[in-house]
Homo-oligomer: A and B are copies of this chain.
Amino acid sequence: MEPLSKKIFLTLMPPEEGDDRPDLKRIQDALPQELGRVSISVPALRQLYNVCRQSDWHITVSLCWTGTGWEIVLLEPGDTTGVHLGLCADLGSTTLCIRLVNLNTGKIVSQESVYNHQIAFGEDILNRVFYGKDQPERLEEIWQATVDTFREALSALAQKTGLPVERCAVMTVAGNTTMMHFLLGLDAFGVFASPYAPVDLTFGFYRAWDLELPICGYVCLYPCRANYLGGDIISGMVATGLHHREEISVFLDIGTNGELVVGNRHFLLAGAGAAGPALEGGVVKTGMRAVNGAVSYVKLENGVFHLTVIGGGEPKGLCGSGIVDMIAQLFLNGRIDFRGKFIPEAGDLTEKDGEWGIEYAPDLIFWQSDIDAFLRTKAAAHTMVAYMLGEVGLPMEQVGKFYVAGAFGTYLDKESAVTIGLYPDIPREKIVSAGNSSLEGAQALLLNKGILEELNGILEKMDYIQFGAVADFIERMNGAMAIPHTDLELYPTVKANLQKRGILRE
């Protein structure tokens, strides 16, 4: 463990006859030589005189790595090394998730999630991009909203823990390319408009002060690889450690956009493309986010729906994992066919304006159009993975680990996801839910400065494919629209199950 910040307790010799070294030199001389030339921030410099004298020259210095060297960013009287805190964050377009970490132990102290205040400028990220396009004063509004979001989360953390969060010397942040632009107050139009040249991708270290983030030292922004392949993906991949291993693994983050990385210690192939908002419950009529009231698991037995509701209580709609379960269950129970179409002959359907649907809870209906939308998304996800493995020349069954990022992956039932063809049909223990891997990667960087060098290697090694530019992508997707896939041989366990259930004849 080598965190991006250090706290060091120093017992200094006070100035005396024959030793008139300046206060700063006194500290620099007392610091370990291996830190190299240590600089100091202006606010810390201003503390120097008083802190040294009030503490009888027993002080604790907080240092932060700046990208090029160590900088003293805070001085405290006495020995405060027992409390050494750092922050890491996943800045999502919907939610900011921040963790307070004990940098002495590497343990999480507390975590806080708040809605991204940018939502005021559009629920959809594209609306925000258009709002700010060519308008510096609006970009400043978006930046301020972003900073406010951080402030809210940091205050909440401080209040909850009673700890001096504002004295943290470092915060790592992972997020997609647009979020990094907005956090810096940059125009993100280039992220979305051909030829997809953003303002920057490297990011790295910024002084918290410059961004008006209320901590002492620096924020380190995860670098992005491309417009649609942001720091959240790089971070997530770092969290899995797939780039260290010999076996070839897949890292998939699927939401409105799908991003994935296939690779190992020798190569990394990354890709991104639109997947549609279906997985976040967006286009599904009774869909919703994975919050209280959302149906997260569905079981259909003997024509009866068994629903698991987040937070208990009345079901209000289906979240992503609920949708996947629902489609799998409808399929396995012979209510929808391979194309995902309702089979009216199986009964129990509702009809409205010529569209079939099924009532899975009082007044909650899952419609044909919901299934269709979702299957497009799952087809996109499948095709991305299949395409990339094809590029690499690796058969699906030789995949080492199949990581799925996001809250979606956390709740998702692997069996259902395989059944509908969203996940590949590989041994289930190879499928790993990576959770908020963006946040995990941010934490890994916070705790291990060595990852900075790894990142350079990763970015250099990583090839990038924009699926939108793959000529036959749509064609390939069409083949993946079926449940689980037009080519059933790709899904041997699903095939066996269907045969067992008599849905498919042997």
Contact = CB atoms under 8 A, between A and B. Distances in A.
Interface stretch (A191-199, A306-314, A354-362, A439-447): A191-199
Interface in A21-48: 21-26, 42, 45-46, 48
A184 interface: yes
Interface of A: 15-26, 42, 45-46, 48-50, 53, 68-69, 134, 136, 139, 184-187, 189-190, 194-202, 206, 209-211, 226-227
B198 A23 contact: yes
B200 A46 contact: no
Given A46-B186, A50-B187, A202-B24, A195 B136 contact: no
B50 A136 contact: yes
B199 A24 contact: yes
A17 B195 contact: yes
B49 A199 contact: yes
B68 A200 contact: no
Contacts of A69: 68
A77 to B, nearest CB: 14
Nearest to A54: B134
A196 to B, nearest CB: 5
Q: Which of A16, A185, A197 has the most CB of B within 10 A?
A: A197
Contacts of A17: 194-195
A378 to B, nearest CB: 29
A182 to B, nearest CB: 12
Nearest to A37: B68
B139 A22 contact: no
B139 A46 contact: yes
A218 to B, nearest CB: 12
9 contacts: A21-B197, A22-B197, A22-B201, A23-B198, A45-B199, A46-B136, A49-B190, A50-B136, A209-B210
A81 to B, nearest CB: 23
Given A22-B197, A25-B201, A15 B190 contact: yes
Nearest to A466: B20
A206 B42 contact: yes
A225 to B, nearest CB: 11
A46 B134 CA distance: 11
A23 B195 CA distance: 12
B186 A49 contact: yes
Nearest to A211: B42
Contacts of A202: 22, 24-25
Nearest to A194: B17
Contacts of A16: 195
A311 B261 CA distance: 79
A452 to B, nearest CB: 14
Contacts of A53: 134
Given A17-B195, A20-B197, A227-B20, A184 B139 contact: no
Contact of A200 (B20, B45, B198, B200): B45
Contacts of A206: 42
Nearest to A43: B210
A314 to B, nearest CB: 48
B197 A15 contact: yes
